[in-house]
Amino acid sequence: MEFVARQEGRIGDSIFLQVHASVIHWDGVLFCPGMANTNGITFHGIDAARGMIDYEVLYYRTNWSDPLVQQRLQAAEKYEILVPRAIPLDLIRNLPNG
């Protein structure tokens, strides 16, 4: 979504916030294996998500020239973690201008 909005000129530069990992353990946090606003997408608790996340393609060296690896990476880049309430500023590590 961000990529398309940037390509179309609807937004300028993007900043991806680095949120402290402890947030993932809050009550009500959900994992979505794609964009959350996609029809028919499923939502899962964090415990179930552990078995669904493609850690290999996200965190380890792999053959980036392999088209199947590229497909897996593109799918993994769409993962979303949904947090049901505001995150305190002290849990955001890279706030710009401050």
User: In the 8-state DSSP scheme, what is residue 70?
Assistant: H
Among 62, 49, 55, 90, residue whose Cα is nearest residue 76: 55
Confidence of residue 13 (pLDDT cuts 50, 70, 90): confident
> What are the residues whose beta carbons fall under 8 Å from the beta carbon of 80, sequence distance 6 or more?
31, 32, 34, 35, 36
Among 30, 25, 33, residue whose Cα is nearest residue 76: 33
Confidence of residue 98 (pLDDT cuts 50, 70, 90): low
pLDDT at 23: 96
pLDDT over threshold 60, residue 82: yes
For residue range 34-67, what is the model confidence (pLDDT) as tens digits? 989 999 999 999 999 999 999 989 888 778 888 9
pLDDT over threshold 90, residue 15: no
Cα distance between the two ends of the chain: 26
Q: Mapping DSSP to helix (H, G, I), strand (E, B) and coil, where does residue 30 land? A: strand
pLDDT at 96: 75
